[in-house]
Structure 1
Amino acid sequence: MTAGGFTPERIAALLLHALPDAVVVSDAGGVIRFWNAGAERIFGFTPGEATGRSLDIIIPDRQRARHWSAFARTMETGESRYGAGDLLSVPALRKDGSRISVQFSMIPMPGPDGGLEGVIAVLRDVTAEFEERKRLRAAR
């Protein structure tokens, strides 16, 4: 039972729009369908600039083949190693072309026909932590 304004719908809406992490939803073809304020803060693209474009806008060239191979496998099987709370750490691109390090988990989105309609990814910028670990390893 929920009290006052603590409804699942209100909580979900607040999370989607106010979460400081990026929430990026893409369809089965890898086209961005939702881009929250956290994604704008992390990657630099406004929702209007990102929505309708390929995920390639945030995937560095060197990682694209591996990304799209794993993406296609997830779309075919409905399963991902990163859907059960496991985090994947990868490089990503910002609008200005700079590289950052992100960690993300994803949630497959089943469609009405039982196949996957797309995926929801929750991404966090971990560049500062990654650089600190690299600095500490180099100091040993």
Structure 2
Amino acid sequence: MQTTTDLKQLVEAVGDAIVASDASGAITLWNPAAQRMFGFTEEEALGQSLDLIIPQRQQQRHWDGYHKTMATGKTRYGNDVLRVPAVHKDGHGLSIAFTVALLHAPDGQVSAIVAVIRDETSRFAEERGLRKRLMELESQIAPQASPL
């Protein structure tokens, strides 16, 4: 028996944020998980620039890569996970990880980029704490220089 998947229901049900943007970088899809992650409602996000969630210091780098992807139709982040900082509506920083998919118009040109995003803020902080603790422990057991 063949079943069909309700794509709208799928996008709304998944736990990861799904954000799509058009060629200019305007947000065209913002699922409930994106709202939970970034704090902006769908109404606040739709039509806005992706700068809404990109820290200002990262924006130039983001747009350089975005426009290159739109022009070439190629991205390495379809399979490789990209880890970057992001910003919540209230201004606090997030650490996110995501992959992207390119959507194409009938003429073959890239028409949209879709990102599937996971909030890794707590995992990133935990790893940073563990690395710091490891460095502290290693410094305690490092061989002491002989005063000879």
Shift of 1:112: 1.7
Which of 4, 9, 24 is residue 7 of structure 1 equivalent to?
A: 4
The two structures have a TM-score, normalised by structure 1, of: 0.93
Code of the residue aligned with 2:88 in structure 1: it is: R
1:102 is paired with a residue of what secondary structure? strand
Per-residue CA deviations over 1:52-99 (Å, capped at 9, x if unaligned) read 00000000011111100000110000000101x211000001000110
Q: Percent identity?
A: 47
Shift of 1:13: 2.5
Q: Counterparts of 2:63 and 2:123 in 1: how far apart (Å)?
A: 27
The residue that corresponds to 1:21 in the other structure is 16
The residue that corresponds to 2:133 in the other structure is 139
The residue that corresponds to 2:116 in the other structure is 122
Q: Which runs of 5+ in 2 are unaligned?
A: 135-148
Q: Which runs of 5+ in 1 are unaligned?
A: none
Matched, 1:78 2:45: no
The residue that corresponds to 2:50 in the other structure is 55
Q: Which moved more, 1:13-22 or 1:72-81?
A: 13-22
The residue that corresponds to 1:88 in the other structure is 82
Per-residue CA deviations over 1:10-49 (Å, capped at 9, x if unaligned) read 2x23321111111001000000001000000000000000
The root-mean-square deviation of aligned C-alpha atoms, in Å, is 0.9
Residue correspondences, number: 134
Runs of 4+ in 1 over 4 A off after TM superposition: none
The two structures have a TM-score, normalised by structure 2, of: 0.88
2:123 is paired with a residue of what secondary structure? helix
